[in-house]
Structure formats: C-alpha cells, structure tokens
Structure 1
Amino acid sequence: MTYCVGMRLDAGLVFLSDSRTNAGVDQVGTFRKMSVFENPGDRTMVLMSAGNLSISQSIRQLVSEHIDGKGNTIWTAPNMYEAARIVGEAVRMVHHRDAQALSEFGIDFNVSLIFGGQIKGERCRLFQIYSAGNFIESHNENTYFQIGEAKYGKPIIDRVVTPTTPLDEAAKCALISMDSTLRSNVSVGLPLDLLVYEDNKLAITHFVTIDEKNQYFQMIRNTWGKQLKSVFESIDDPVWNASPEVDSNVLSATNMHSKPVRVEVPVQLLENPQPPGPLQSLAQHPNSNTQA
C-alpha cells in the first residue's frame, strides 16, 4: 500500500508520497510513487500513484507518450484539465489491455492517482483520478486529496490547511500527516518524496527525498509525539455525577438520566438465582457404586 497527499494553495502546490509497495514478514518493496513532467518555463506537472504497481507504472509510461484524439500530449495540452483528461485516457487504455487478464488471476484493477501542476497562462490545479479514468478537481472547499492509507493523516490536515496556508507551513503539515500514518500502518514506509511548487515558477525549485536520517523529519517525529502527549495531559479529566453550576468539565450531570441499553437476563437464570454448587467427582457421588 502507500500514502500520498497533494495540496492546492493560493501560493502553489505541495506533493508528498511514500515509497512502500509491499509489507510482509519477509518481503518489503520500495518504489517511488511520484513522477514529474516538467518543461521549464512552459509547464510543471506531478503525478502520484497508489494501488497496483504494475498498473501505475504502465499508466505513467502511456501518459508520457499518449496522443489524444485532438492531437494533444501531456507536453502540449493547452490546460491542466486537458492534461488530466489525457491521464484518464491512459488509465482506460491500461484497463482495456490488462483488466481481464488480471481478473482471471483474482487481481482487481486497483489504481488511484493525484495529478496536479501548472501550465503557462493558467493557475495551479489539482485532480484526483480514479480507476475508471474519471476525475475530480480540488477547489477552495477541498484544498487537498489523499490516496492510499489516508485515514491516519487526515485529521491534522482538516484542522490546519486552508487555501491561504503558506507553502512551508503546508509542507510541515503534510509531513506530520505522513508521520501519523507511518506510526500506525506498516504498509507505508520511508523514503519519502516531498515537492513544493511555487505558483508561476513553471519549474521545480523545492524537492527532497527524505530517509530515516533526515534532520527535519526526525525533529518532527520527536516533537509531534511529545507535543501531542503534552496537550493531552493538559486537558482535564471528566467530572462524573456533578452539577454543571458547581463544577466545570462535567461529563455526567446530576440531572441527567442516561441509561445503557441492557440485555435481559435469560429466564432460566432468573428461575435459578443461586449458582450450582461445586462439582463432585464420580467417586464422591452418594449413589455411586464405585469404590474409592
């Protein structure tokens, strides 16, 4: 499995991906999930993938060389929407070629993509592309997309990132999101690829591959855990069966009448409220003819 996150902000774009493909007792694979399509001064686009590795690698190859019905390629598409459509067509082509054969071996056609960037003359744009080749675009109401093991890293992004978030702050949030995922899921692993794109640069200016020795990421891993514990310990414990007018942080007020849903006691237990006495061995039974 994997975890990738892409953010679209007023100041640009942030992309972060891990590199794990298999997680087992004796087999761990490492393949980079981020690919860059860059023609400096004209366009910069980033593709990240999750799911079946053979499918995603085939899609990446087709994206780089596919010519659509209008004669456009990823390198000549007039805007990011048309570029995303070319990626979607590549997904469908791989599905048409491989899906049936994979199905015969019990393998689902499983792939999801994050695709974003900027083409000269328009703003930064970000898309999530599905296994059917269809896609959705990020807007201010939803400034980011996740693929792969998304649930562990989602809460921090929801609480922090808005369209006005500065790029470095968003990159920090993405790394914390990744750290939360790494800590809770063995199918996500180092090294990481982090790319921060500044609006209207039309070239990559900030990119780093992060391994276990990276100084900044180690600081995040240590500091985030300590700060979370500190904040947790600073929150008061709940107060039970008290009056809100007298005590603060009341969880269960004296005037509340909450009751759990109770399961009825079996009838046979009600008829025999006393538990049976200790079991006797056959030799101790009064009617037994067996000699001790």
Structure 2
Amino acid sequence: MEPGNETQISKFHLLGLSEDPELQPLIFGLFLCMYLITVLGNLLIILAVSSDSHLHTPMYFLLANLSFADICFTSTTIPKILWNIQTQSKVITYTGCITQIYFLILFAGSEIFLLSVMAYDRFVAICHPLHYTVIMNPQLCGLLVLVSWIMSLLNSLLHSLMMLRLSFCTHFQISHFFCELNQMIQLACSDTFLNNLVMYFAAVLLCGGPFAGILYSYSKILSAICRISSAQGKYKAFSTCASHLSVVSLFYCTLLGVYLSSAAPQIPHLGTVVSVMYTVVTPMLNPFIYSLRNKDIKRALKGIIRVPVI
C-alpha cells in the first residue's frame, strides 16, 4: 500500500481504565482531584520562581520550565478523560487523536530533555562551584531550554506526520485512556514498518541519550561528593541534587514500567494502569518533591499564599 492518508475511520473509542459504569464516578473524582493538585502545585512553583528574585537562578528557571511542561502534559489527557466520563462517551475523533499524540510526545520529550539539562546544572554546581555563574550564564541556560523545546517539537512533529500516512480500516477501539503512539501504530491496517523503525530509533536516541547524560553527570557528582572530607559538606552537596534525582528516578522507573507492561500482553489493562503513573502521578508529585525540603521554595510560597509554611 502506498504511503498516504487513506483513513476510513473518522473516530476512535477510548476504552479507558474500566468499562464498569459503577466505577466511572470514582475514576472521575480521582482524576479530577489529581489534575487539580497537579495544576495548582506546578502553578505555585512557577509563581514562586517568577515572583521571588532569590529564585532567579538557572536551577529554578529550569524547574519552572519543568513545571510548565508537567501542567501541559497532564492537560493533554485528563480533561478529555473527564469529558468522556461526564458525557458517557468514549469517542475521540481522528484529528483529536493525532493532536493528542503530537502534544503528548512534545511535552514528554521536553521533560526528558529538561531533566538532562537539570542534571548538567547540578553537575556544574557541585563539580565546578567556583565557575558555576560563568558556565551556567543566562544565555547558555536559555539556549539549553530553547534547544530542549525545539528538539521535542521536531520529534513530536515527525511522529505525527508519520501517523498521517497510516490507514485505519476496521479496528477503532483503543484499549487505553488516551491515544498512545505504539497502540495506534498497532491498530493500523497499512504497512507500519517505517513507523516502528522511527519510533524505536527516536526512543533510543532521544530517551537513551539524555538518560546517558544524566548517568554521566551523576557519576561525576558522586565522585566529587566522595572527595569531600566533612560529613556536613557531603550532606549539603547531596541535598542540592536529591530532589532532582528523585524526580529522575520516578520518571524513568515509570517509563520502564510502561515498557515492561507492553512486553506482557497477557495481563489485561496492565499497561494502561502503569501509564497513569507517568502521565498523571509523576507530574502531580514533582512539586511536592521539589518543595518539601527546599527552604527557598517554601519562603517564596509563603510570600504568595501568606500562610506559615512548615
């Protein structure tokens, strides 16, 4: 079949987490609460960084970008889930599905790149503290963020355009709560070899590359911390990157869980449930991870909400 959009299906059905009508109010309430917490938490981080001059540093600038990506990432999927449950409809249009795939890959990719840039920032801060302000100057920091977003945009655009060449003839049920790239490729009735090739190549290059950079940065950070003589100095150095390391571990562990669940098709809905972790739970937890033990963030939040921050 020649490449081209010969799609016969104008809409798909998202089967969601459960087809049990009695569970729909519970799912609606749970997702609504998590979405509101995610948006509010990440929005407070952005407001804290922008309003407090003490937080106008590369680390917090990157954190604000990560919070923005988290808000956009969850907003790509959860509002549609809530709408479908409220209207008792599982329908998503073909255009809506392609659009959802585009923005999901865009914001997921931006998170991956931003986490790697944040790892580099921590590497410079701990391994080259005297040159930190010179190396991580505003121009370089802004350039790294810009490149992260551009790379993510180009990657998502490539996958979306590749999706347009596929035909969907008979299979219109998606056993997920959003349009997931791999599942959409599997539903196609045209040749998907090129799509699979691009998908796996991009995954190795754009996920494995930044992850390798994160591992390299932390290997140097760990080596530098081990050379510090005092226990207090070691604790202070480690505490500066503990939050970022927690977020990286949570993000990549959930991605690994999604990959492993896709390799176990005999367990129904496993991949869907695991996907909730990286699309909903991880963006919700990020603000708490970065703010609970960060005195600067607490002080800035106290100035915004005008209540004592413990």
Q: Same fold (TM over 0.5)?
A: no
User: Normalised by the size of structure 1, how large is the TM-score?
Assistant: 0.23
- Structure 1 or 2: more helix by fraction: 2
- Structure 1 or 2: more strand by fraction: 1
1 or 2 for the larger relative contact order (CA 8 Å, sep ≥6)?
A: 2
